[in-house]
Amino acid sequence: MEPLPPSPAPSEPPAAPVSTARRPIGHPLFRSLLFLVVFVIAQVIATALLYLIALALGREKILQGGGMGELGEGFLLSFALTAPPLILMTWAFVRYLDRRDLASLGARWPAGGRSVALRQALTVPLATLGFLGLWLALAAAVSEVRFGGLSEEFQTGPSGWPGETGSVAFLALLLLGFLIQGGVEEWVVRGYIYRALKERWRWWVSALASSLLFSLMHIFNPDVSWVALVNIVLAGVILALLVERSGSLWGAVLAHGVWNFAVACLLSLPVSGIRMFRLLDLSIEGEGLLTGGKFGPEGSLLLTLLGLLLIAALWPRGRGAMNGAPARL
C-alpha cells in the first residue's frame, strides 16, 4: 500500500498591505495660514534687502516716492527677490508638513502637455485682454474717457532707458516682472493654500476660502475699497477655476500677470491702487464705484458684474465635472 502524500501546508493569509503614504501634519487651514505668514515675512525681508541695495547704489527713490518709485516698479523687484527663497520654503512645507511634492501644487504643464501650454500662451493673454476691453467699453459708456496719446514718460523714457526704444524695452521688462509677481502670488494662493484646503473641503469651498485670503493680502493697498476686495475674491475664484480645469498653475499665472501688466502699463490705469510706468496718457472721469477710481478697474462695480458672469460661464456643469475634495465641509 502506497503511503499517502503529505497534506499540503495550510496557506497563510496574505499579509495586510503596509501603507507607505504619510499623513499630512496638522489641519490644512493651519498650514495655509502658517505658510502665508512665512511668505509675508520673506517678502518683508526681500523688500528691506532691496531698499538697502538701492540705498547703497544711490537709487532709493525706486522704492520711495518720487521718480520711478512714484510709479511703483519697486514692488516688482521685491517679488523677484522673494521667488527663490519662496520655492525653497515651499519645498520644506510640502515635504515635511504636507507629505507630497511640488508637482501637486500645479507646478507642471496643463492637462494635454506642452502643446496645450503653448496654445494657452496665446489664448489666455488674448482672452484676458478681451475681458479688460469689455470692461473699458462699459466704463466708457457710463463715464468720460480722456485720451492724450502716448504718455510723456514713455516718450522720454525712464531713467537709464532714454527714448521710446528704451521705453519699449522697459515695458518688456515690466511684463516679465508682472509675470513673476503673478506667478509668486499664484504659487502661494492657488498653488499651496488652495491645494492644502482641498484635503478637507470641496474645491469650491477651498477656492472661496483661498480667495478670501488673497483679498486680505491687498487690504493695505492704496485707496482700497470694499468693492475692490469683493472683486479680488471673484478674481481668485476665476483663477482657481482655471487651475482646477487644467491641473496646472500655468494659465492662472498668465492671466494674472497679463491682467496686471495690461491695466497698469498698456491701459495706463492704477492696478490695485499702484501706478506704474505706462504707455498711454489715459484717464477715466466718473463715479468711482463704476470706474474704480484711484484703485483702478478692480474697484469697479462693472468689473463685479463681469466677474460674476465669467464665473458662471466657467462653472462646471453636472456632478463630477471637477476634481472635488474628498470630504464635505
Domain spans of the chain?
110-314
**Is the CB of residue 117 less than 8 Å from the CB of residue 109?**
yes
**Strands 280-285 vs 144-150: parallel, antiparallel or unpaired:** antiparallel
Query: Whole-prediction pTM value?
Result: 0.86
Largest distance between two CA atoms of the chain = 115
Using one digit for the tens of pLDDT, what is the confidence trace for 11-29?
A: 444 444 433 457 889 899 9
Inter-axis angle of helices 203-216 and 28-56, nearest 10: 30
Residue entry with cell 468689473: 303
| CA dist., res. 112 & res. 283, Å (int) | 41
| CA dist., res. 275 & res. 71, Å (int) | 5
By C-alpha distance, which of 252, 235, 247 is closest to 203?
A: 247
What value does the mean pLDDT take over residues 62-70? 43
**Is the CB of residue 181 less than 8 Å from the CB of residue 261?**
no
Using one digit for the tens of pLDDT, what is the confidence trace for 296-315?
A: 999 999 999 999 999 999 99
By C-alpha distance, which of 180, 179, 170 is closest to 276?
A: 170
User: How high is the pLDDT of residue 26?
Assistant: 87
The dihedrals phi and psi of 245, each to the nearest 5 degrees, come to -70, -35
Residue entry with cell 505658510: 35
Using one digit for the tens of pLDDT, what is the confidence trace for 253-308?
A: 999 999 999 999 999 999 999 988 899 999 899 999 999 999 999 999 999 999 99
